[in-house]
Structures are given as structure tokens and as C-alpha cells.
Amino acid sequence: MDVEKFLNSLDNLFEKKKINEVPAFLEENYNEAVRENDLSAQFTILNEMMGFFRDISEYEKSIKACHQCIDVMQKMGIQGSVHYATSLQNIANAHRAAGLLKEALQYYMEAFRIYERNIDSNDYRFASLHNNIALLYQLYLWDGQALWAADPSREADWQATDGVEEKLNFELTTGDIGLDGAEDRYLSRLTLRLDAECSSTVEVAASYDGGPWETVASLTAQDKRRSFDLPFVPRRHGTLRLRLKGRGQITLRSIAKTMAAAKGGIAGGEV
């Protein structure tokens, strides 16, 4: 199976905003890789599946892809390798998003131990892993035996929005994104994780290499407090800035970066 062709076709679907066609495309290509017994292709596709379904909040499908990926990696015999650890990061991210926090922490720590043995402590992959673990600890506290909510408002019985200002105009502009990227990788997808405290609207615009602002995504939240994943595919660039502008109350929790090899390869998730 031509993995580079698969990745280019997937990027093309995102660029044309054909998000509804992505699930079937992923399933068809995965089934083809299974029929061909192409473990390497299955590995790449499953990493894409766990990230995509996580981003659109279809957590059951994301976790299923995680389990399938672990099985494929065992068949490939790559346990303990850097590729294995990088995939464990993606698996941990999916579990964290699905609320499976103990499992997420276990996968993060296994990835950490593998990186300690195989890569330099200043490697960018360590930075990505530390950021992901920090995000888990930001949401929950770990006492060695159990995870506890760091803020009760993050639990299922979220606070009501009575008295929350819904007519507040806001604007946020980031600094340059991409200055820390490796030359052999490019940013294939960004996912903004947002909390809407009340009825809110937000428009996301991007500025590529200092150029004019271009609207890339928008969101309208109704009534009660909710969390959203807002993915979009940036065009090729050296540096990127984002602007969030809207009305209501929106909290930007994180920006998840999906990186791909410049000549095709595994896309790894970073936060």
C-alpha cells in the first residue's frame, strides 16, 4: 500500500473541508491494509484514526483504534522503540480526551521510560511528552493511587451559567507557531480545544508567514457550558499566528499539533 499517497489524499480531504468523507476514507484504507497484511500501513492509518476520532469527540472509535494499534505494534515487534513511544503518546492523548485518565497516565509514563533510554533529554519529543503530561496534571491531581479533579467545575455536574456575561466581546492573538519545528516535518493539522462558558461565538483566523488574516474555522455554542474540539488544516507555511475573536466567554485550553513527515510518514500528536 502506498502510505504517502494515503497521507496526501487525507490532507486533501482536510484542505477541501470534506470532513464528512474522512471516516469512510480511513476505514476503507485500513481495511485495504488489513487485506494486504501491510502492518506498516495499518500502523500509520490507525494513528490517524485515533487522532481524527479524538478530535471530533467520537471517543469510542478513537479508543478502538488505540487497541488495534497496540496489537499491530506487537505484531511488528517494535515494543520499546522510539516509534512505539511516539505512538503511545497518541494513544495516551486519545485516552485523556475520552476521560480515561489513569490509562492515559500509564501510557505517558511508558513512553517517558522509553524516551529516557533512547533519545537525548533535549529532543523535541521530550518537550511534547512533558506538555501532554502537564495538561493531564492541569486537569487532575495524582496521589499515586487515584486521580482527583483539580477543579470541581471540570466534572460532569458543571456549574450553571447564571450570571455569566454573555455579551462580552473578546479577541486573542497568539505568537508565532512553528519556530520550534524540525525541518523534516510539517504541521498537517491543528486542533483547538475550547470551553464555552455560556452561549458564545468564536471565529478563528490564521496569518501565514506574517501575511493577512484568513478565516479558517468558526464555532457557535448554545446555552450551557460545553467543551469543543475545533480542528482545521493549515496550508504549508514557515510560521503561523492564530486569532480568536468573538462574543461570549471562550477558554482556550490547548492547541494540539499533528505533525507529518515532509516525505510521508506517521503523524504524531503534540500539545
Question: What does pLDDT average to in each consecutive run of 10 residues of the chain (271 residues)?
Answer: 91 88 94 95 94 89 95 94 92 88 89 91 82 70 47 42 57 75 66 82 90 89 77 83 86 78 52 45
Report long-range pairs for 179-182 (Cβ below 8 Å, ≥24 apart). Answer: 179/239, 180/124, 180/127, 181/259, 182/124
Contact (Cβ atoms closer than 8 angstroms) between residue 27 and residue 21 = no
* E strand spans, the chain: 140-142, 147-149, 169-173, 185-196, 200-208, 213-221, 226-232, 240-247, 250-261, 268-270
Q: Is the pTM of this model over 0.85?
A: no
Count Cβ atoms below 10 Å from residue 11 Cβ, excluding itself. 17
What's the pLDDT score for residue 22? 93
What's the pLDDT score for residue 228? 81
What's the pLDDT score for residue 82? 92
What's the pLDDT score for residue 266? 45
Amino acid at 223: D
C-alpha cell at 155: 466534572
What's the pLDDT score for residue 180? 53
What's the pLDDT score for residue 170? 81
What's the pLDDT score for residue 147? 46
Q: Which are the contacts of 212, defined by CB distance < 8 A and separation ≥ 6?
A: none
